[in-house]
Amino acid sequence: MQFYMHYMCNWPEYFKVALGPNNDIMGYLIGKAEGSDQKWHGHVSAVTVAPEYRRLGLATDLMKYLEKVTNELHKAWFVDLFVRSGNAAAIKFYQHLGYSIYRKVLKYYSDNKEDAYGLSLCFCSFVSLLSSLYLSGSQIYTV
């Protein structure tokens, strides 16, 4: 719990709760900004939707909210997240939103040592920056 309290104190804009008609929690989002200097990105720590509220677009709305905060408020380059390698439904969901798998992390999850995929969504500003650097002949380093 202390872990997420640290997140909430430092990045309250990355906490979002969706309430139902009876004030029940339909879903929530927990994220943060990561990086240094001008190399910032948003990170999704958790997106959860209660079973009775799934297939209504709520997870998409929560993700779009995080992407907007990351892009417009933090002027960050991309959003990333990790997902269990065996969670085909989640992988398909994120890919539908435009995320791409960029790496596999072996034994990422401590409960059962399952591998994770790292997925990311780059913003146009990041792609434009890289293109302008490339076209100007600047040396590009990976972050």
Query: What is the identity of the amino acid at 80?
Result: D
Three-state SS sequence of 47-75: EEECHHHCCCCHHHHHHHHHHHHHHHHCC
Give the per-residue pLDDT at 140. 42
Token pair for 132: 């302008």
| CATH class of the structural domain 2-135 | alpha beta
Tens of pLDDT, residues 11-64: 999 999 999 989 999 999 999 999 887 788 999 999 999 999 999 999 999 999
DSSP annotation of 143: -
- Could you tell me the pTM of the whole model? 0.82
CA distance 88 to 129: 32
Sign of the Cα torsion 88, 92, 93, 98 reads positive
CA distance 112 to 28: 24
Q: Once rounded to an integer, what is the mean pLDDT over residues 57-74?
A: 95
CA distance 111 to 16: 26
Evaluate if residue 138 carries a pLDDT over 50.
no
The residue that leads in pLDDT, 31 or 128, is 31
How would residue 141 be classed by pLDDT, with cut points 50, 70 and 90?
very low
CA distance 5 to 93: 28
CA distance 34 to 80: 10
CA distance 91 to 78: 17
Give the per-residue pLDDT at 117. 96
DSSP annotation of 69: I
DSSP annotation string for 37-49: TTEEEEEEEEEEE
